[in-house]
Structure 1
Amino acid sequence: MSRLLPALFALLTFSACMPMERLFAPTADLMSDRWLRIATTPGREPDYAALNGFLDRYHHQAADGTARVRYAQVTEADKGALETFLIAMQQVDPAQLDRNQQLAYWINLYNAQTIRVILDHYPVDSIRDIGDGLLGLGPWADADLRVNGARLSLNDIEHGIIRPVFADPRIHYALNCAAVGCPNLAPQAWQGATLNAQLDAAEHAYIHDPRGVTLTGDGRVIVSKIYGWFREDFGGTEASVLAYIKSRANPDLRAALDASGQIGGYAYDWGLNAAADTIAQAAE
């Protein structure tokens, strides 16, 4: 059922009405018990060299702190290399990987597939503009990947595997949906050996960025809609979300949040995370 809801969810994300958006946000719903198989000892880490090479060339850190992608500059050769990388990733048996390796694998597969989708449809103003028909419901339900014989969409990976199997709210800082409002696309592939440090760093960066938490002049706390859509992953209530953020905040931010005492609103920028030079080239 959770894979049927994202279409309605995509429609409602145009609205600022968080209660309505939350009603149709995808739930964490395990697809199959097969995805519960995790090795008890480390396996052979998948080869992420091709993804790292792509990111080295096209990942761009903008002056405002947002990670961008130089989509317009991607060569046909590098696009082909990304396709080849995704083919190789689909040959990996996740069950042969330990918990951290497996989560890193799913994150890398998700992020690489998202980049491929954007490249296949570029230029677009937003990932939500991608989709069949008049409504353009986005690409998240397209089952374009096959792992262990199972057809998988981006929604399947996030809501049918990662969220229910790993139950770690920090994954929301790792999965990138090609939007400016999303936590930054990592400049390098995720690795099992360094996963927890990477997740902690990504969480800290987002919470201390205006996209994650903003304090207005009148003392209100505006947080990312991620905390509304997936409130259940952060404790289930607005109070628990705020408590979670405070537990990860530096002393200055924590004091400001204590002074406010509640969440005053939600915001999210669905604009494409394209680098400025990419946008200029697309307009020519």
Structure 2
Amino acid sequence: MNLITNLLFGILLLSCNGKAMVSANTKESSIKTKGTIREIEVKNQFHDHSLWNLLLKKYVDDLGNVSYAGFKMDIAQMDAYLDQLGQNPPKPDWSKNEKLAYYINLYNAGTVKLIVDNYPTKSIKDIPNRWKKKWIIVGDDITSLNDIEHKVLRKMDEPRIHFAINCASYSCPKLLNVAFTPQSMERLLSKTAIDFVNDKTRNSFEGGKASLSKIFKWYKGDFTKKTSLLEYINTYLQNPVGKSTKVEYLDYDWSLNDTK
């Protein structure tokens, strides 16, 4: 009888220990899982451009005209978004599209903020030191619109950024009324390129002549690393032009892209 009792007690003890081990392993696994989820949540927070998306939908029309008066009324939200970006700078492990979304949105939001802070104004060029002034916070650094464009975005080997960033002027590529995200990056970059190249108010192709935006003159080297300028433009042009097409450049309209 004692032998049977001892055997039963041993089995019961093993069973309890096994459950304890399973419980401990489950708890540890749960902690690891929660940690992973938390890391994902935090990372997604860094890429959250929903506030900027909401403002763009409210104050930018489909033609890229901007209600700076409207943005001025929502200046607290503008500041909150820029603060969010400033406190969550890009990390070394971010993908190219994550960095592109961050800096394109930062540039565009910074430009709108610059105009709003000086509104009303007839042109961004009426604002002193508009592009070189260092006032935009990115982590521990304070940077400028000029540095974001030339020292960051242009070095990312993606010439379509020139169609995505807006300089608050009518001759600029239009400001989209949606925010860039890592997931939408390729689609939106292609859209901005197609829209800009085929916009007859910014580029004209008639009579064997290409009358181009000065963006193609100022940044020609960015567009011609792998091909000629006209071949690059033909990638997005609905009716491609011949290689011998004469190229000239249009005057640039720096007047404010304000809603009328």
Scaled to the shorter chain, the TM-score interval is: 0.7 to 0.9
Which of 76, 81, 85 in structure 2 is aligned with 1:85? 81
The reply to whether residue 160 of structure 1 matches residue 148 of structure 2 is no
Contact 1:69/1:273 (8 A) holds in 2:
yes
Change (3 A) 1:266 1:94: same
The reply to whether residue 105 of structure 1 matches residue 93 of structure 2 is no
Equivalents in 1 of 2:221, 2:61: separation in Å?
Answer: 32
Structure 1 stretches of 4+ with a deviation exceeding 4 A read none
The reply to whether residue 228 of structure 1 matches residue 217 of structure 2 is yes
In structure 2, what is the equivalent of residue 145 of structure 1?
136
In structure 1, what is the equivalent of residue 116 of structure 2?
119
Contact 1:211/1:268 (8 A) holds in 2:
no
Backbone CA RMSD of aligned residues: 2.0
In structure 1, what is the equivalent of residue 177 of structure 2?
187
In structure 2, what is the equivalent of residue 261 of structure 1?
245
Q: Deviations over 1:195-250 (max 9, x none)?
A: 0111001100111002442134x44211000000001101169x811111012212
Equivalents in 2 of 1:205, 1:140: separation in Å?
Answer: 25
The percent of aligned pairs where both chains have the same amino acid is: 33
Q: Deviations over 1:102-151 (max 9, x none)?
A: 110100011001000000001111100101xxxxxx41001101213122
Name the TM-score, length of structure 2 as normaliser: 0.78
Equivalents in 2 of 1:79, 1:197: separation in Å?
Answer: 29
1:80 Cα deviation after fit: 1.1
Contact 2:89/2:139 (8 A) holds in 1:
yes
In structure 2, what is the equivalent of residue 209 of structure 1?
199
The 3-state SS of whatever aligns with 2:178 is coil
1:52 Cα deviation after fit: 1.4
In structure 1, what is the equivalent of residue 229 of structure 2?
241
**Number of residue-to-residue matches in the alignment:** 217
Equivalents in 1 of 2:164, 2:94: separation in Å?
Answer: 19
Structure 2: state its 5+ residue gaps.
1-42
1:162 Cα deviation after fit: 0.9
Equivalents in 1 of 2:72, 2:247: separation in Å?
Answer: 44
Q: Deviations over 1:37-94 (max 9, x none)?
A: xxxxxx5352212111211211123xxxx31111123353x11110111011101130
In structure 2, what is the equivalent of residue 46 of structure 1?
47
The reply to whether residue 55 of structure 1 matches residue 56 of structure 2 is yes
In structure 2, what is the equivalent of residue 22 of structure 1?
none
1:97 Cα deviation after fit: 2.3
The 3-state SS of whatever aligns with 1:272 is coil
Contact 2:217/2:249 (8 A) holds in 1:
no
Deviates more, 1:67-76 or 1:259-268: 259-268
In structure 2, what is the equivalent of residue 24 of structure 1?
none
Structure 1: state its 5+ residue gaps.
1-42, 132-137, 277-284
Change (3 A) 1:227 1:173: same
Equivalents in 2 of 1:275, 1:269: separation in Å?
Answer: 15
Equivalents in 1 of 2:192, 2:86: separation in Å?
Answer: 26
Equivalents in 2 of 1:210, 1:83: separation in Å?
Answer: 35
Change (3 A) 1:75 1:145: closer
The 3-state SS of whatever aligns with 1:193 is coil
The letter of the residue matching 2:114 is: V
Pick the structure with greater CA Rg: 2
Name the TM-score, length of structure 1 as normaliser: 0.72
